[in-house]
Chain A
Amino acid sequence: MEAPSSNRLHLRFVLVVAAVAGMFVGCVGTAGTPDNRSLSDRARGGGYSVVSESILDTANRYQAAVKVVARFKGKAGTLFHTCSGVVVHDRLVMTAGHCVCRRRKAPSPEGEERFVVDQSTCARRASVQTFFFKTLDEEEQERITNPAQWPTSGEVYVGEVRPNPQLMVVYTSETNNHELASNADLAFIFLDVSLKGKVDSARLPREQIKVNEPIRMVGFGATKPGEPPAGIRRVGANTVVSVEEGAGRIFRVTKPLLIQPAFVQGEPLFMREDGSYVLAGDSGGPSFREEEDGTFSLVGIAKTAYNLPVEYSEYTSTYAYRDWIVREIEGARKRGGTD
């Protein structure tokens, strides 16, 4: 999760270089974002260097957000998908369908190359990691050179993958995340045992998300574009700019682009208010609405993100799939009980 360094209005420069449409920054496996930098550059950058500590969820306010890992056995060995997810019941974690199901080749009727994610390609099982930051006094906080070293604890659970029956995402390539179509990009993981100790489950919203609503986005992803997922829970904020007409299955978040009259070296210069976006490893993670009583409700599950030339992130609206979600939670209650 990439997030603003402060809550103040802060303008960031976005230099639009070329129309690189729909560059992938969502959930990744080994065949994820192309990264041409040398490994040493990647390693030295670390992904943690300039991020302010305030955006780590050290108060564990968003403890319902968990890390999700799916493993796929393939010809080239084991492929991992590292994503985020959210606890909605003590045996049920929701994530994105494409986090726990892989792409398969499925040419279009016209014979064009297409890759599809649907129910037929899901991992049978996936693992879920709960994550708690330990409380530190100021002196202890001083000692931390690297926010990634903040003391934490957690548990890893495994469970059965239960994709939405309508899951269908169509891509043009095996690695690029430019989507041609997407429907019901959601899945549950039904845990073998109940979560140990108390993890506050996320609540469902009473109404659909609306344009201009502010949301909190939570994930275990990278802190900068092009970095691998950092595996530590971060919180960011952004605003809903559009909701799919009709069914309202998908909404988009971004900050408006302001066009500056100034030009730099012949290129037009764009400015944008700071906001958080979905990066590698944030897919499947929750976005929350703050309700009037100060509680949070789960409005979306991170689906994908696009950057240049138009930077925005897409979430699947949980409200649009509430019947299925409620049925799954009821089912977990019946099967669950106590372990």
Chain B
Amino acid sequence: MGGEKDIHNRYRGTVSVSARLPEEVTNCSGAVISRTLILTAGHCVCPRLKAAPPEEGAAVMIDASECAGRASVGTIVYKARGGDEDAVGFSTQVYGGVIRPHPELKVLLDGQGGVISSRADLAVIVLDRPLQEQEGRSIPLADEAVQPGELLVIVGHGYDEVANVYDRERRFSRNQVSRILEAQEGRVLIRQPEGHLYRGDSGGPCLRELRQGPVLVGISSRWLGQGGSFTSTHGYRKWLSAELERADRLALPQ
């Protein structure tokens, strides 16, 4: 089993994110954390810089210095029609916004693209206008940090290895936390019980399922290196609250 299509809109707090970098246009995902604020991975909106400092054998560095200014954010809403699981309608929309990377973003990669270290691989996008209610429900931040062995749902828009398509459908998959790399500022390794079948979800939310609904524990970084990983948001709560407050202030009518 790979990514499952979210036709019941359970995870409509997930959007697609794209930024134009010098060498590529990225295809990522993001998490809605307020009607005007999207949280994504730093490496989705900031370029890989060749001139890495000669530390720890890094060949490539990603930091907050040369990030794209703006990103576009895509939503999809499914409308089930009748009893058949396959019979659904869909409607997509696009929004624009300003990128604000985490100031301490620093990802070091080796010559083969493997991750040496990753810190604050996060960025927010401040939308020009708020998302419609049905297009994106804000995901609350989790109160408790992620635990080893915990089962999480990761949601994203992107490449699905099972269907072999690169469309904008919203898909989710279940994953298990295998290791928490405390030293690396919240980097968490995960495995997908059925193997890595759905990996197009960098920037997408990692969710803990609670009775009252999903809560956010991290942001996926599966494009980086080998094997799945994500950035736990728990250690970055202060920055997130400041960004949420700032976005709320900006969104207030003049």
Contact = CB atoms under 8 A, between A and B. Distances in A.
A150 interface: yes
B91 interface: yes
Contacts of A151: 91-94
Interface residues of B, number: 45
A49 B24 contact: yes
Contacts of B165: 80, 82, 228-231, 281
A212 interface: no
Nearest to A158: B86
B94 A150 contact: yes
Contact of B164 (A45, A158, A228): A228
A77 interface: yes
B89 A146 contact: no
Contacts of A230: 165-167
A32 interface: yes
Interface stretch (A8-16, A36-44, A286-294, A305-313): A36-44
Contacts of B89: 153-156
Contacts of B92: 149-153
A47 interface: yes
A108 interface: no
Given A145-B72, A150-B94, A28 B223 contact: no
B44 to A, nearest CB: 10
A140 B158 CA distance: 23
Contacts of B223: 39-40, 43-44
A281 to B, nearest CB: 7
Nearest to B113: A40
Contacts of B16: 149
B81 interface: yes
Interface string B68-112: 001110100000010010111111111110000000000000000
A46 B94 contact: no
A154 to B, nearest CB: 6
A143 interface: yes
Contacts of B158: 43
A295 interface: no
A166 interface: no
A146 B164 CA distance: 20
B163 A82 contact: yes
Nearest to A232: B167
Given A49-B24, A143-B94, A144-B94, A38 B72 contact: no
Nearest to B197: A77
Contacts of B96: 143
A133 to B, nearest CB: 10
Nearest to B19: A145
Interface in A239-273: none
Given A154-B90, A156-B87, A158-B84, A80 B164 contact: yes
Given A82-B163, A228-B166, A146 B72 contact: yes
Q: Give the bracket for the number of chain A residues in contact with chain B.
A: 35 or more
Interface hub of B19, B92, B199 (most chain A Cβ within 10 A): B92
Contacts of A148: 18, 27, 74, 167-168
Given A80-B164, A149-B94, A149-B168, A43 B200 contact: yes
B25 interface: yes
Interface in B153-207: 158-159, 161-169, 199-200, 202
Contacts of A194: none
A44 B26 contact: yes
A77 B167 CA distance: 21
Contacts of A155: 81, 87-90
Contacts of B88: 155-156
A43 B159 contact: yes
B86 A127 contact: yes
A304 to B, nearest CB: 17
Contact of A30 (B86, B91, B161): B161
Nearest to B194: A77
B49 interface: no
28 contacts: A28-B164, A30-B163, A32-B164, A39-B159, A40-B113, A40-B224, A44-B27, A46-B24, A46-B26, A47-B166, A77-B1, A80-B164, A140-B94, A143-B94, A144-B72, A145-B18, A145-B72, A146-B18, A148-B18, A153-B90, A153-B92, A155-B88, A158-B84, A228-B164, A228-B166, A230-B166, A231-B167, A281-B165
- Ranked nearest first, the 9 interchain pairs of A and B with the lowest CB-CB distance are A231-B167, A146-B18, A143-B96, A145-B72, A149-B74, A153-B91, A46-B27, A80-B163, A155-B89
Interface of B: 1, 16, 18-20, 24-27, 70-72, 74, 81, 84, 86-96, 113, 128, 158-159, 161-169, 199-200, 202, 223-225
Interface of A: 28-30, 32, 38-40, 42-49, 69, 77-78, 80, 82, 127, 134, 140, 143-146, 148-158, 192, 222, 227-232, 280-281
